[in-house]
């Protein structure tokens, strides 16, 4: 995104444990590295693994007012409850990114937005670990939207992940790349 004035927001949502907060953190950190203004707002009340969790990321070339977004430009949804909650809110001609491993694409109803499906769990399992599904989703989403540079995401892993997980950075980078390649390979 090279335009002078730039404003984009996205809601990332799924079950607690699917890693939606990590996706949001990485996008926010990558945008910050690139000199953008950014806010990251997590919403996880009493939810834990299995409950629902979501976060809102706003990226802008200007100072950001509200970190709360009513109608997002894009939603990345990892499970069905999140689809039901966020599909109606997306701005017309916005982007709905769904995890088609857990959501049947026929569950969607909007005709005025772009719907983009990636079976992130299957791709992650085929490439070594189901735990990497969120990184596959992030790679695919970012390849689709070109929100930040891939390299900014890779650099951000070191900042966002706790040191005890740093040995997993190479496999996470690989999963982001696999997600991106999947999108590139689409017709």
Partner 1 sequence: MWPFECGEIVENQEPEKILAKGNEAIAMAAMDSRCLLYFGYPITPQNDIPEYLSKHLPALGGEFIQAESEIASINLLLGASATGARAMTSSSSPGISLMQEGISYMAGSELPALIVNISRSGPGLGGISPSQGDYFQATRGGGHGDYRMIVLAPSSVQEMYDLTCLAFNLADKYRNPAMILGDALIGQMKEPLIRRKCAKMDLPVKDWALTGAQGRKPNRLKSLYLQDGELSEHNWKLHQKYEQMKKEEVRFESFFTEDAKLMVAAFGSMARVSKTSVELAREEGMKVGLLRPITLFPYPEKALYDLSQRVKLFLTVELNTGQMVEDVKLSVERDVQVYFYGRPPGSLPSPEEVLEEIRKYYG
Q: Give me the least distance between CB of 72 and partner 1, in Å please.
A: 10
- Tell me if 187 contacts partner 1 by CB under 8 A: no
Tokens at 98, concatenated: 């769904």
Distance from C-alpha of 138 to C-alpha of 133, rounded to nearest angstrom: 9
- Tell me if 82 contacts partner 1 by CB under 8 A: no
> Coil, helix or strand for 101?
coil
- Tell me if 29 contacts partner 1 by CB under 8 A: yes
Identify the residue among 1, 6, 17, 32 touching partner 1 (CB under 8 A). Answer: 32
Identify the residue among 15, 40, 97, 116 touching partner 1 (CB under 8 A). Answer: 40
Identify the residue among 2, 3, 4, 45 touching partner 1 (CB under 8 A). Answer: 45
Question: Cβ distance 41 to 55 under 8 Å?
Answer: yes
Q: What angle do CA 47, 50, 55 make, to 5 degrees?
A: 55
Q: Give me the least distance between CB of 28 and partner 1, in Å please.
A: 6
Distance from C-alpha of 77 to C-alpha of 85, rounded to nearest angstrom: 10
Query: Cα 99 vs. chain centroid, distance in angstroms?
Result: 11
Report the interface residues with partner 1, using CB under 8 A: 25, 28-29, 32, 37-42, 45-46, 65-71, 159-160
């Amino acid at each position: 995104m090279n335009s002078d004035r730039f404003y984009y927001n996205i809601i990332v949502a799924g079950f607690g444990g699917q890693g939606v907060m990590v996706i949001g953190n990485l996008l926010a950190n990558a945008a910050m590295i690139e000199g953008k203004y950014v806010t990251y707002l997590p919403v996880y009340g009493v939810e834990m693994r299995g409950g629902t969790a979501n976060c809102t990321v706003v990226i802008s070339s200007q100072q950001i007012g509200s970190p709360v977004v009513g109608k997002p430009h894009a939603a990345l949804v990892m499970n069905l409850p999140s689809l039901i909650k966020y599909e109606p809110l997306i701005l017309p001609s916005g982007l709905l990114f769904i995890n088609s491993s857990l959501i049947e694409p026929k569950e969607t109803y909007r005709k005025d937005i772009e719907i983009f499906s990636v079976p992130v769990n299957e791709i992650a399992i085929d490439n070594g670990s189901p735990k990497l599904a969120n990184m596959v989703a992030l790679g695919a989403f970012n390849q689709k939207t070109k929100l930040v540079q891939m390299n900014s995401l890779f650099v951000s892993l070191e900042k966002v992940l706790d040191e005890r997980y740093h040995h997993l950075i190479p496999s996470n980078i690989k999963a982001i790349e696999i997600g991106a390649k999947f999108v590139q390979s689409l017709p």
